[in-house]
């Protein structure tokens, strides 16, 4: 069976109804990028260290956690809690963009990023005793990355609150 031949008007009509063409492309692109950043944050800085601590005894992060004054399982549990607190925000970005007006999941993800930054700093300090300068810089880099992610969540929440305040003032005037 031969493919139908479309004239330019038919192609234009089909393109405007295509599901791959979002109605508000800028917002959709920002949401997709936010989901990628949140997913990367969740995997690289929260889940991966836990997997290494639990499955690769003798790994660098296991040694750093072992040098800590608290047990490894507490450090791993704190990473897991941060991951669980971040999941609602990722879920909303991917599956429920209609609920993004709710600030709580973004705030929680911001707190998780701040907590993860503290954990990475704690691990970097514990690596001082092992004299592994490369690991210290790596963990400090992870800390700064977590702070940057947390900053973006905070910036987003603050911007939303400012827009809401401006809209409230416009309504009252």
Residue whose C-alpha is closest to residue 126's, from 66, 49, 74 = 66
pLDDT in tens, 27-66: 888 899 999 999 999 999 999 999 999 999 888 899 888 8
Contacts of 111 (CB under 8 A, 6+ apart): 85, 150
Of all residues in the chain, the percent with pLDDT exceeding 90 is: 62
Domain boundaries along the sequence of the chain: 26-172
- Cα–chain center distance at 4: 45
The four Cα atoms 127, 128, 130, 135 give a dihedral, to 10 degrees, of 50
Q: Which pLDDT tens digit goes with each residue over 142-169?
A: 999 999 999 999 999 999 999 999 988 7
Question: What pTM was computed for the model?
Answer: 0.83
CA dihedral 78, 140, 150, 31 (to 10 degrees): -100
User: What six digits make up the tokens of 89?
Assistant: 């925000």
């Amino acid at each position: 069976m031969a493919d139908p031949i479309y004239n330019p008007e038919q192609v234009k009509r089909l393109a405007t109804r295509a599901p791959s063409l979002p109605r508000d492309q800028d917002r959709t692109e920002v949401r997709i990028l936010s989901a990628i950043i949140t997913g990367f944050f969740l995997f690289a800085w929260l889940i991966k260290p836990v997997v290494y601590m639990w499955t690769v005894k003798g790994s660098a992060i296991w040694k750093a956690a072992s040098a800590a004054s608290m047990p490894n399982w507490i450090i791993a549990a704190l990473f897991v809690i941060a991951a669980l607190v971040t999941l609602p925000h990722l879920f909303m970005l991917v599956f429920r963009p209609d609920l993004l007006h709710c600030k709580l999941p973004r705030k929680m993800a911001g707190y998780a990023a701040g907590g993860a930054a503290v954990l990475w700093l704690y691990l970097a300090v514990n690596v001082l005793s092992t004299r592994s300068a490369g690991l210290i810089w790596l963990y400090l880099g992870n800390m700064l990355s977590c702070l940057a992610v947390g900053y973006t969540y905070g910036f987003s929440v603050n911007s939303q609150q400012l827009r809401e305040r401006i809209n409230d003032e416009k309504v009252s005037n």
